A = this chain, B = another copy of it.
Amino acid sequence: MNQKTNLEGFVILDDTRGLLMKAAERLHRHFKDQLNLETIEKYVFESYELLDAKSEVKIYLPSLTERFAKDRLSALLKSDNLQVSDTLDVLFVCVHNSGRSQMAAGFMSQLGGDRVVVRSAGSAPRESISHEVIEAMAEVGIDIRQEFPKPLTDEVVRGSDAVITMGCGDACPIYPGKRYEDWVLEDPADQSIEAVRVIRDEIKKRVETLLSELLPA
């Protein structure tokens, strides 16, 4: 395996481009004839650049890029009405996408199950989810270790049926005809596990209420 080290000391693989092209081919198969390969490649490479500007751990970038691009492309299909969807697409946005929006997404995924498609993003994403947030969610049986902070992109807003913001202010774009809510919640960043638990429990209550309104039994 050929490697080179850049000026900052990160290991950069020579074959990153090859990995991203293969990811694009897989996504092309996944989305079948709904999106052409050129569009998918454009999204994959742009997603890589967006994550690369923020991410600490370079080695995982190609696989995180594939997941991020898949999320964005499924939102693109829904926003362009190219795909008939019987699921409810919900987006949670906060500043860092490392605390509040990740907890909300975790509860919504668990409680909503197959009926919802959940995405999250940050207006200024951090490098990683905070350890206390991961631990507090694990305590209630939700494993969010595989999640990662992602920047806010236009198509995930357009492709969502409901958009919940948490303190990201003017950074969140608004589209008419959507359901919007802004939740006022304390930021768990750099707080103790005890403080994070309180925020977590508040988020859980709000997600339960939102879910019961969006998907009446």
Contacts and interface: CB of A to CB of B under 8 A. Distances in A.
Contact of A139 (B13, B139, B145): B13
A217 B153 CA distance: 36
How many copies are assembled? 2
Given A30-B113, A135-B59, A145 B143 contact: no
Nearest to A135: B59
Contacts of A19: 140-141
Contacts of A140: 19
B139 A64 contact: no
Interface string A92-105: 00000000000000
Interface string A139-160: 1111101100000000000000
A54 interface: no
